């Protein structure tokens, strides 16, 4: 049965091992943003033996390119981007200790295997709700690659940021479960 869990980043193995597909997770603490251009740069830094702009151990990466902050706000709309664009980079970052990723859409088999092997989860955020989601972001600053504009790496402080577990540490997939349940329902 799905439950609601409040977690504060950085996360531990115990934090993510308690999560099952369908659970609602309200995230607080510091999370980082990166999309495909930033992911490529992070992996390129690693390939050169250079340090990353943040320690990934226990961290959460949000796949978002936020819009500029309107007057009186810390950030503009901050809705999730399609996660599969990061799939070629995600296993490398998960191996370095990344504990959760937030985005939308399915993940590839290599990402799911890396999550199982290194105790990480994939959390879904509601696409199309970027303005609403951004209200849960309390502070934002660019920490790397400012020339990428909205795709720069940001450090966000969030409070009760709403997500749902799509892939858990056991390799289960909420999307696949939903399709199976639908097929069972229409077969009856």
**Confidence (pLDDT) at 83:** 97
For residues 7-17, one letter each, b for 16 or more C-beta atoms within 10 angstroms of the residue's C-beta and e for the rest, the string is bebbbeeebbe
pLDDT of residue 37: 97
List, for residues 108-123, the tens digit of each pLDDT value: 999 999 999 999 999 9
| Model pLDDT, residue 183 | 79
Q: What is the mean pLDDT of each run of 10 residues along the chain (188 residues)?
A: 95 98 98 97 98 97 94 94 97 98 97 98 91 93 96 97 97 87 79
Q: pLDDT at position 130, please?
A: 87
> Quick check: 143 and 155 in contact, CB under 8 A?
yes
Q: What is the pLDDT of residues 65-90, one digit of tens each?
A: 999 999 999 999 999 999 999 999 99
């Amino acid at each position: 049965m799905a439950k609601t869990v409040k977690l504060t980043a950085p996360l531990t193995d115990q934090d993510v091992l308690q999560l099952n597909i369908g659970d609602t997770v309200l995230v607080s603490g510091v999370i980082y943003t990166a999309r495909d251009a930033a992911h490529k740069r992070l992996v390129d830094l690693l390939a050169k033996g250079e340090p990353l702009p943040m320690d990934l151990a226990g961290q959460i990466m949000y796949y978002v390119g936020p819009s500029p902050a309107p007057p009186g706000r810390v950030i503009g709309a901050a809705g999730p981007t399609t996660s599969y664009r990061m799939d070629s980079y995600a296993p490398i970052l998960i191996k370095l200790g990344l504990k959760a990723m937030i985005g939308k859409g399915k993940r590839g088999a290599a990402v799911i295997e890396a999550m199982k092997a290194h105790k990480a989860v994939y959390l879904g955020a509601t696409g199309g709700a970027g303005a609403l989601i951004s209200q849960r972001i309390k502070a934002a600053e660019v920490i790397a690659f400012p020339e990428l504009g909205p795709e720069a790496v940001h450090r966000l402080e969030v409070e009760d940021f709403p997500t749902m577990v799509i892939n858990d540490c056991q390799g289960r997939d909420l999307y696949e479960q939903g399709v199976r349940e639908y097929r069972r329902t229409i077969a009856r």
